[in-house]
Amino acid sequence: MQEINRERGCVAPAVKGRTFNDAVAAWREAIAPTLSPSTVRQRECYLRKHILPKFKDAAPHTLDTGALQQFATKLRQTVSRKTAINILGAIFSVLDYAERTGTQVAKAKLADIRFGADTATAKGAAFFTREQAVKIIQAAEEPYRTMFAVAWATGLRAGELLALAVTDLDFQQKTISVTKSADDQNREIRAPKTPASVATLPMPSALESALKTYLAKHWQSNDAGLLFPNRTGEKSRLRDNVVKYGLRPVLKQLGFPSHDVGLHAFRHGLASELAQQMVPLPDLQKQLRHTDVRTTLRIYAHSIPGTQRAAMESVAIGTTVPIGTN
């Protein structure tokens, strides 16, 4: 009936103060602060780039299954199935809160939307090999040198790395505590991505030495006690600036690819290196602090071909008959 009404032009317009854009504003104020910084960044990107240009002035009750299916179908022309699902998920998150606060919304569900199948092979995430990481760290200037060393040796996410405080370092126990993350939108220090992200990680001896040297010679004292404060010492650094001014110039200097390569490449590189060394799955999951073991298993699946080939080489039986035998 809603589809027929839309075709006839009979769908009621948005009530003043009750457009989808108004619903987004309410969601930002009430729900966004409860989410992890990475989730908020992702959804804000989807809202800005895909959702609001289409539905900003729409009435929430017009975003029914038909309208959202058409939107999803058009999205699939430019984005992957997973991204399209995430974008629609952001819409339903806003609509869910709007409905709970008394706004009339259409009775549509994410499960009702069809996204099709991905036929193209997904591009693998960028990662550094151990050899590349060594060269990058050696070529970088402080504070980036120590920052990259911590990123490789711990596998911290960018927000967690930039939120580290000196008090998170325990040189007696040789550990690093991960208890917070820097929000790249406002640089507020908040809880990390998930409860599983909170952990105490080992501090390798090489990293211990690098950190002690950095604190003695390069660290800038600041009120927040941040390990890597910005130049004014007032806030955490922006990850984009770290990539732009610290990482990318080094990559270009070394002749390494720099397009779409960020701090996460250290985390992915460490994960791949540990998987190649056949570190037990529980240990790898604990180091990377994945909530779902399936995420960790995907890293093993990515790394298995090389180790599988080596394993099979070690047990293979030759079929060539030696010369001079029957």
- Can you give the pLDDT at residue 120? 43
Structural contact between residues 227 and 166, judged by C-beta atoms closer than 8 angstroms? yes
Residues 29, 101: Cα–Cα separation, whole Å:
13
Tell me the one-letter amino acid at 144: Y
- What's the mean per-residue pLDDT of the chain? 85
Location of each CATH 1.10.443.10 domain in the chain? 130-310
Rounded to an integer, the average pLDDT of 215-240 is 91
Cβ atoms of 176 and 154 closer than 8 Å = yes
Give the sheet arrangement for strand 199-202, strand by strand. Answer: 169-170, 175-178, 199-202
189: confidence class by pLDDT, cuts 50, 70, 90: confident
The CATH H-level (homologous superfamily) assignment of domain 130-310 is Intergrase catalytic core (1.10.443.10)
Considering the entire predicted model, what is its pTM?
0.64
From CA 48, how far away is CA 231, in angstroms rounded?
30
pLDDT in tens, 251-282: 999 999 888 899 999 998 898 888 888 888 88
Q: Has residue 19 got a pLDDT over 70?
A: yes
Per-residue pLDDT band for 324 (boundaries 50, 70, 90) equals low
Contact between residue 126 and residue 265 where contact means Cβ atoms under 8 Å apart = yes
Query: What letter would DSSP give residue 194?
Result: S
| DSSP string of 256-320, one letter each residue | ---TT--THHHHHHHHHHHHHTT--HHHHHHHHT-SSHHHHHHHHHHHHHHHHHHHHHHH----P
Range(s) within the chain of domains with CATH label 1.10.150.130: 2-112
In angstroms, the Cα distances linking 275 to 287, 296, 297, 303, 307 are 12, 9, 10, 6, 9
pLDDT of residue 144: 97
Integer Cα distance of 278 and 89 in angstroms: 36
What was the pLDDT predicted at 39? 85
- How many alpha carbons fall within 13 Å on the CB side of residue 40? 25
- Percentage with pLDDT > 70 across the chain: 83
Residue 4 confidence (pLDDT) above 70: no
pLDDT at residue number 134: 95
SS3 53: helix
CATH fold label, 2-112 = DNA polymerase; domain 1 (1.10.150)
Q: Is the pLDDT confidence value at 305 over 50?
A: yes
pLDDT of amino acid 303: 61
